[in-house]
């Protein structure tokens, strides 16, 4: 059972999230709060955060504005509660995101980012499950921007290799099925989830993934996602 906490800035967003979760038997909302102005309602907000520390949710959904206002009020308070909730993975919802802000939040315990106008019930439920596993979820239109920022940062630090022109050319050598699987890998899907979606065995998917890695000279699923994103950008231009 995934224990979930939510903190929104308006009742409409809270209601939309609750509607999305209705009927999901593996997700339990253990706390939910609307706080419209953290500067004026800081005591309520801190009381809620203290409650969350005690309940230790697996995933917390927080509005981006709450994070910004709390940081403006007291950055040490934000750091203190992030440390106390270090085992809680966070999904941040907002009207817009800057890719550099997303990368910065990912260095903490933020693992999911959802544009509030795109609260599709099926996708938010999947996002919660993906984040609960410790993986990262991005709204579709954020993927390219964030991947570009990660490529720049990871390339500077040598964490992962940026896709090379040779690797992009090698995308021509992989089959239609392999491209289909690579696209799903870039969406943070596991081999088992891909197998279920494509009506294949997990063993077959694993073989395809291994072949993709060998053909394109990539080392892990992160580089696979970066390569596919760059490939899509190249083919769409």
Question: pLDDT tens digit string along 154-196?
Answer: 666 655 566 888 999 999 999 999 999 999 988 778 899 899 9
Mean pLDDT for the chain overall: 81
Instruction: Say whether both 140 and 38 belong to one domain.
Output: yes
Considering the entire predicted model, what is its pTM? 0.62
Give φ, ψ of 189 to 5 degrees: -85, 140
Give φ, ψ of 103 to 5 degrees: -60, -40
Domains held by the chain: number: 2
Q: What is the pLDDT of residue 177?
A: 95
Instruction: Say whether both 114 and 19 belong to one domain.
Output: yes
Instruction: Say whether both 111 and 197 belong to one domain.
Output: no
Q: What is the pLDDT of residue 158?
A: 58
Domain boundary among 116, 144, 172: 144
State which residues of the chain have pLDDT below 50. none
Instruction: Say whether both 104 and 10 belong to one domain.
Output: yes
Instruction: Say whether both 166 and 119 belong to one domain.
Output: no
Q: Does a structural domain hold residue 187?
A: yes
Domain boundary among 89, 116, 144: 144
Q: What is the pLDDT of residue 175?
A: 95
| Cα Rg, the chain, nearest whole Å | 19
| Domain extent for 14 | 2-144
Instruction: Say whether both 66 and 176 belong to one domain.
Output: no
């Amino acid at each position: 059972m995934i224990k979930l906490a939510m903190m929104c800035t308006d009742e409409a967003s809270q209601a939309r999230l609750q509607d999305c979760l209705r009927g999901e038997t593996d997700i339990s909302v253990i706390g939910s709060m609307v706080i419209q102005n953290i500067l004026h309602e800081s005591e309520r907000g801190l009381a809620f955060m203290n409650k969350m520390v005690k309940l230790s949710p697996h995933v917390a959904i927080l509005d981006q504005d709450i994070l910004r206002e709390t940081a403006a009020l007291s950055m040490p308070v934000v750091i203190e509660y992030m440390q106390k909730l270090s085992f809680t993975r966070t999904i941040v919802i907002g009207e817009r995101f800057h890719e550099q802000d997303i990368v910065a939040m990912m260095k903490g315990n933020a693992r999911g980012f959802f544009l509030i106008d795109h609260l599709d019930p099926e996708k938010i439920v999947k996002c919660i499950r993906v984040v609960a596993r410790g993986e990262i979820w991005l709204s579709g239109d954020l993927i390219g921007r964030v991947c570009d920022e990660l490529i720049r940062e990871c390339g500077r630090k040598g964490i992962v290799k940026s896709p090379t022109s040779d690797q992009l050319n090698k995308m021509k050598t992989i089959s239609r099925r392999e491209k289909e699987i690579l696209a799903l890998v870039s969406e943070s899907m596991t081999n088992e989830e891909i197998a279920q979606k494509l009506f294949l065995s997990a063993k077959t998917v694993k073989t395809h993934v291994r072949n993709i890695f060998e053909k394109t000279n990539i080392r892990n699923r992160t580089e696979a996602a970066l390569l596919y994103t760059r490939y899509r950008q190249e083919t769409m231009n």
